[in-house]
Structure 1
């Protein structure tokens, strides 16, 4: 009897090598990705190289421009030096920068006189005193006059500087004066008592913790500080009296720290008249052309300072990104 053969079972899947075409596709994709990453890396490198070259060129240009700022001119002119903002070290109104500008302005043979255009609430008496001394020295050395032109405000240390000028011109609404000295701070002793905080201050030298805001005020130390302020105040007053001479119409309030508008300042002899820079250059100096000797950041320097730090951080992040892609 014939038996029908059982149908054969499908063979189990075996590890048969993939077709050659599959390998080619994988290799092609790998090569494509690799080349794409390499191109991306080259583009980033080229980009940052261009950025750094641009920054270097900007810095070189800014140095060249700053070096030739206020360079000697062929004709007679009025030399301008700006005094703006707080008078303090490492500011645009530091004695170092102002004196450098004054020296360049005086030494230029074309400058007929120097104008200090002032818009400052004051600042360090030391910095102001250094500038005042330099004005006196340069006036004697070069036999040129100095005029101060006040815009919005010329107070405290700014007036200390202005007092060295031969004449002071203001706007009728300018703020002028504040001939005084201050030292300010805070005291927290009562607050500490209320919240139960104890101050533990150790010093070597009984006055080393003088004017510590977390310790009670010592009458002896307070008197010492007041004497020091009074002495600096007298130095300030002496400079003003020497600079203004008989034009000064002293009142009991003149050296009290009060300030006045420009019209009142003229009446008190703190200023000589009203007028702006153009007026002084045209009518007083008789040299209408104005050349600015003030050292300042130009556009390239500002771009370099603001852009440089950001680009440095961006470069690090971008290189890290490229490294991750690779």
Structure 2
């Protein structure tokens, strides 16, 4: 049926978008959008990223979903940064076979960060005392905004962040290492220090392949294809599609 549809129906380039903070909900939405794609006419997959980052675990799930979908359907993945593709969003961006950004896109933030809120003085000024009992004062689950961060707990967080940072660097090297135009000995201080870059800088460093926007690039690569966002076909829409194929078969058979 797929080969028949490719012969009779107009080819398409489906587009999925990743917007905002990357969370478990984002992964569920991406999975749904991928399932809604009509793979029978797809010539490639375009992924548009506009995200400041989020969970590295969920971004890895996103990358796996995209890669598995593309592999199963023999599609090349084109990724595009819009306004922002930073941190976990950048991880998704560089997973594409061909990576694009706008000249003014903000990219990178190859680093890890965690924040603490401390309202200890505010609580003390109100005459409130917080007491807690724990078997492990150094546990990350024991951190509270009502007290200072213990030195030993700070070391735990630092080690966790260093581990995450190394995994991020390893991922960039795996996806872009051969294309990066910065000498290896300079990458740590120039690329892997948490800085962000615009699209032009990212291209100069080899973090992306080219400057371009999804509509322009896809129309140039696949001039006969429609660039579409996935929409779940209605029952009537599916019926009309099968009816169209049936009528074509009837016409061919009668000839």
User: When the two structures are superposed, what TM-score results if normalisation uses the length of structure 1?
Assistant: 0.62
Determine the C-alpha separation between the residues in 2 that align with 1:97 and 1:137: 16
Instruction: State the match for 1:225 in structure 2.
Output: 157
Helix, strand or coil at the partner of 2:166: helix
- Which residue among 72, 81, 95 is the counterpart of 1:150? 81
Shift in Å at residue 163 of structure 1? 1.6
Instruction: State the match for 1:282 in structure 2.
Output: 219
Is 1:243 aligned with 2:175?
yes
Shift in Å at residue 152 of structure 1? 1.0
Instruction: State the match for 1:187 in structure 2.
Output: 118
Instruction: State the match for 1:63 in structure 2.
Output: none
Determine the C-alpha separation between the residues in 1 that align with 2:9 and 2:170: 39
Is 1:170 aligned with 2:105?
no
Shift in Å at residue 287 of structure 1? 4.6
Higher relative contact order, chain-length normalized (CA < 8 Å, sep 6+): 2
User: Larger Cα Rg: Structure 1 or Structure 2?
Assistant: 1
Is 1:202 aligned with 2:133?
yes
Instruction: State the match for 1:82 in structure 2.
Output: 17
Is 1:127 aligned with 2:58?
yes
Alignment of structure 1 residues 58-97 onto 2, 5 Å: 74-90=9-25, 94-97=26-29
Determine the C-alpha separation between the residues in 2 that align with 1:270 and 1:260: 10
Determine the C-alpha separation between the residues in 2 that align with 1:141 and 1:89: 23
Determine the C-alpha separation between the residues in 2 that align with 1:212 and 1:253: 35
Instruction: State the match for 2:31 in structure 1.
Output: 99
Helix, strand or coil at the partner of 1:185: coil
Is 1:234 aligned with 2:166?
yes
Contiguous gaps of at least 5 residues in structure 1: 1-71, 296-326
User: When the two structures are superposed, what TM-score results if normalisation uses the length of structure 2?
Assistant: 0.78
Q: Is the CA contact 2:120–2:148 (under 8 Å) kept in the aligned structure 1? A: yes
The alpha-carbon distance between structure 1 residues 242 and 138, as it changes in their structure 2 partners (threshold 3 A), is farther
Contiguous gaps of at least 5 residues in structure 2: 1-5, 233-255
Q: Is the CA contact 1:237–1:255 (under 8 Å) kept in the aligned structure 2? A: yes
Determine the C-alpha separation between the residues in 2 that align with 1:294 and 1:136: 20
Determine the C-alpha separation between the residues in 1 that align with 2:71 and 2:152: 44
Instruction: State the match for 1:271 in structure 2.
Output: 208
Shift in Å at residue 289 of structure 1? 0.7
RMSD of aligned Cα (Å): 2.3
Helix, strand or coil at the partner of 1:147: strand
Helix, strand or coil at the partner of 1:82: strand
Helix, strand or coil at the partner of 1:247: coil
Instruction: State the match for 2:235 in structure 1.
Output: none
Determine the C-alpha separation between the residues in 1 that align with 2:11 and 2:135: 61
